[in-house]
Amino acid sequence: MNRFWSSATCLLLRIGAIAAWPGLLACAETRGGEPIVIELWPGKPPGDVGIARPETSRIHDSPLVGKTKLITNVSKPTITIHRPPERQNTGTAMLICPGGGYWDLYWELEGEEVAAWLNSVGITGVILKYRCPRRPGEIEREPPLGPQLDAQRGMRLLRARAAEWGVDPNRIGIVGFSAGGHLAVATATNFHKTLYNPIDAADRLSSRPNFAIGCYSGYLKPGDRDGIRDDLTIPADTPPIFLAHTGDDRVSYGGSIAENSVSMYLALRKAGVPAELHVFATGDHDFGVRKNERLPSIWPDLCLRWLKSQKLYVPPR
């Protein structure tokens, strides 16, 4: 494919996408199977006062995982679609929410590495670049609202383009890590309320994921009180939820150690929602999907078996 043809194709697909979904900005897949990147909003994200600083990325030397890429100052949220090889595609997809305390996005550890794992097992991985850090006036230790708007919009756009990307619209889930785990669970439980005014045809579709996965999630428990946060509701039609945490997690928001995930699991069970919880004795925070000697490294395999039991995933042959 020559450069002219690639550019022309991108332009034609952009025009077609805008015609089908007014305001939708798209960039077609380029040579070499590059991921597709789509801006969530046609203009300024709703409810966003904005930030003056430009988007930046940096390499962070984490004491737990070593050097990894972080992104911050996000004012133009996007989704990046990583598709598995067509012959291995299972039709299942996940919207990926990296963590970072709602200040940064651990883009490599909890985004690109997760998408690569999903592709390796025939699942489409869609990384959500949601707005961060917190905007002026937002409370430092509380989850901001803007990322929840971005997640709802991301789910709807993924469902709207499901056929185009080889995805079964009834097998679209959401997975998140740390603060992104809160975002995944909040999206899976608060879907009855649309948090922004509809923009186009995609917003007529449901933002309810068919399943949710939260890893070392924060902001689920209300500080020292038992139970879950008051702003998290669990309707009867909440989708199945899988939770993973460690007993020695040193980074927790709204409660200590694994109490965030344990409290959510108990609330889900009380509401009659299918749920599975794994609390590993050790492994700390930020274990992602890396295969190593840490106990939580088996959670991806456990999760796939759980998805299969829920009839949400069939391994590729």
Residue 124's CATH number: 3.40.50.1820
Same structural domain for residues 133 and 237?
Answer: yes
Tens of pLDDT, residue by residue over 84-96, are 999 999 999 999 9
For residue 8, name the pLDDT band (cuts at 50, 70, 90): very low
Q: How many Å separate Cα 23 from the centre of its chain?
A: 22
Task: Give the pLDDT band of residue 255 (cuts 50, 70, 90).
Answer: low
Q: Is residue 91 part of a domain?
A: yes
The answer on 186 and 174 residing in a single domain is yes
Is residue 102 one of the residues assigned to a domain? yes
Residue 317 resides in a domain: no
* Same domain membership, residue 148 and residue 26: no
Q: Could you tell me the pTM of the whole model?
A: 0.89
| Residues 13 and 69 placed together within one structural domain of the fold | no
Asked if pLDDT for residue 268 goes beyond 70, the answer is yes
171 and 88, same structural domain?
Answer: yes
- For residues 244 and 278, the answer to whether their CB atoms sit within 8 Å is yes
Q: How many CB atoms lie within 10 A of CB 224?
A: 9
Strands 78-82 and 211-215: unpaired
Residue found under tokens 């230790």: 141
23 plus 136 within the same structural domain: no
Is residue 75, in this structure, part of any structural domain at all? Answer: yes
More confident residue, 271 or 1: 271
- If asked whether residues 27 and 160 sit together in one domain, one would say no
Per-residue pLDDT at 254: 55
Q: For residues 7 and 110, state if they share a domain.
A: no
Same domain (yes/no): 10, 118: no
The reply to whether 315 falls in a domain is no
Q: Give CA separation, 106 vs 53, 186, 226, 254, in Å.
A: 19, 19, 29, 20
Residue 314 phi/psi, 5-degree rounding, is -125, 115
Q: d(Cα 222, Cα 170) in Å, to the nearest integer?
A: 32
Q: What is the pLDDT at residue 256?
A: 59
Q: State whether 211 and 221 are in the same domain.
A: yes
CB 97 within 8 A of CB 128: yes
Q: Please write the tens of the pLDDT for every residue from 297-310.
A: 999 999 999 999 99
Cα 251 to chain centroid distance, Å, stands at 19
Main-chain dihedrals φ then ψ at residue 186, nearest 5 degrees: -60, -40
Residues 8-18, mean pLDDT to the nearest whole number: 36
- Residue-wise pLDDT for 132-172, tens only, equals 999 999 998 899 999 999 999 999 999 999 999 999 999 99
d(CA 48, CA 43): 11
Structural domain harbouring 288: 36-309
Are 9 and 148 in the same domain?
Answer: no
Domain total in the chain: 2
d(CA 256, CA 247): 10
Q: Is residue 316 part of a domain?
A: no
Compute and round to an integer the Cα radius of gyration of the chain: 19
* 116 and 197 belong to one structural domain: yes
Q: Per-residue pLDDT averaged across 58-62, rounded?
A: 94
Question: Is residue 195 in some structural domain?
Answer: yes
Res. 182: pLDDT tops 90: yes
Beta bridge partners of 215: 177, 244
Provide mean pLDDT across the span 89-110: 97
191 is a domain residue: yes
pLDDT at 200 over 60: yes
pLDDT at 179: 96
Indicate whether 4 pLDDT > 90: no
